[in-house]
């Protein structure tokens, strides 16, 4: 919708003038992704934590190639490029069967042994799930509270691993809110902190203006590549392949303290 595009355009247009050619951008709120095992941060911008995901509308599901965040369980460095980031430690000790390539292309080149970071994006707006960040806004709700529930997976060829489609939306409603059918709850207590949107267009010099509450689970899980392939073939979010990563934000001036 035109209104959504206008709002996002206005937000992003301020980046070039505000993001100085310095070591870090200035005047922005806390940024994401981060090492969730490092709790320190000195960014002074404060905004309220978003409500629990159960009290918000799921508005988008997408995933990134490799983990954008870092934690003890996903700390194997995968490089500085668009699809750099971090891999799960368990990806280094998979069986031959788990690494067997399925027939055909999966999600634009995802292979067994790869790491992905999945984002379930939630909005305080009265919206329905759809494509991209624009689905989290509306003409009547241009400045929502946003929350991202996050899980990092190792992709394996194993029907006994988690089924990606069990974590999809498929019209699921709970207490009047659009919700995922399931989000993993056995991979450690989520680490909650204030941050921003992510993706390869942002760096420590070019920051995101959007305010997001993050809940990042600290342990990896395994997901079946065949179920991921099925999801990429058809989903209401029009997601066909992984997104790139934003490199880790490490400067304390760009991080909120984790309480």
Q: In this predicted model, what pLDDT tens digit does every residue of 115-173 receive, in sequence order?
A: 999 999 999 999 999 999 999 999 999 889 999 999 999 999 999 999 999 999 999 99
Q: Which pLDDT value is given to residue 16?
A: 39
Cis peptide bond N-terminal to 179, omega within 30: no
Cα distances from 201 to residues 12, 66, 84, 220, 249, in angstroms, run 11, 16, 14, 26, 13
Q: Give Cα 140 to chain centroid, integer Å.
A: 25
Q: Are 254 and 35 in contact (CB under 8 A)?
A: no
Report how far residue 59's alpha carbon sits from residue 53's, in angstroms, rounded to the nearest whole number: 11
What is the C-alpha R_g of the chain? 18
C-alpha closest to that of 115 among 140, 86, 138, 95: 86
Report how far residue 183's alpha carbon sits from residue 81's, in angstroms, rounded to the nearest whole number: 29
Q: Are 94 and 156 in contact (CB under 8 A)?
A: yes
Tokens coding 256: 């909120």
Beta bridge partners of 178: 173
Beta bridge partners of 120: 61, 149
Q: Which pLDDT value is given to residue 19?
A: 38
Report how far residue 223's alpha carbon sits from residue 60's, in angstroms, rounded to the nearest whole number: 19
Q: Which pLDDT value is given to residue 7?
A: 39
By the 10 Å C-beta count (0-12 exposed, 13-18 middle, 19+ buried), 21 is classed as exposed
SS3 228: helix
pLDDT one-digit tens code per residue, 174-220 = 999 999 999 999 999 999 999 999 999 999 999 999 999 999 999 99
Report how far residue 33's alpha carbon sits from residue 19's, in angstroms, rounded to the nearest whole number: 18
Pairing type for strands 57-65 and 115-123 reads antiparallel
Report how far residue 146's alpha carbon sits from residue 7's, in angstroms, rounded to the nearest whole number: 15
CA atoms 71, 184, 118, 90: torsion sign: positive
Report how far residue 221's alpha carbon sits from residue 110's, in angstroms, rounded to the nearest whole number: 16
pTM: 0.91
Q: Which pLDDT value is given to residue 22?
A: 59
Q: Cβ contacts of residue 259 below 8 Å, gap of 6+?
A: none
């Amino acid at each position: 919708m035109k209104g959504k595009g206008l709002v996002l355009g206005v937000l992003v247009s301020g980046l070039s003038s505000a993001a100085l050619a310095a070591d870090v951008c200035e005047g922005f709120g806390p940024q994401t992704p981060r090492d969730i095992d490092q709790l320190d941060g000195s960014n002074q911008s404060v905004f309220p934590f978003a409500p629990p995901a159960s009290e918000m509308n799921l508005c988008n599901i997408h995933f990134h190639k490799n983990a954008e965040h870092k934690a003890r369980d996903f700390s194997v460095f995968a490089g500085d490029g668009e699809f750099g980031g971090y891999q799960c430690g368990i990806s280094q000790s998979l069986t031959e069967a788990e690494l067997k390539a399925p027939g055909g292309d999966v999600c634009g080149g995802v292979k067994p042994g790869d790491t992905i970071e999945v984002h379930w994006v939630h909005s305080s707006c009265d919206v329905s799930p759809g494509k991209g960040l624009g689905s989290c806004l509306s003409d009547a709700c241009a400045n929502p509270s946003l929350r991202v529930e996050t899980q990092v997976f190792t992709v394996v060829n194993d029907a006994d691993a988690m089924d990606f489609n069990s974590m999809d939306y498929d019209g699921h409603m709970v207490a009047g809110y659009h919700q995922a059918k399931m989000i993993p709850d056995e991979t450690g207590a989520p680490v909650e902190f204030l941050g921003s949107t992510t993706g390869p267009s942002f760096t420590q010099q070019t920051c995101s203006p959007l305010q997001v509450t993050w809940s990042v689970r600290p342990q990896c899980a395994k997901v079946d590549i065949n179920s991921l392939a099925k999801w990429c073939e058809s989903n209401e979010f029009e997601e066909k392949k992984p997104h790139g990563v934003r490199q880790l934000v490490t400067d304390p001036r760009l991080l909120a303290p984790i309480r």
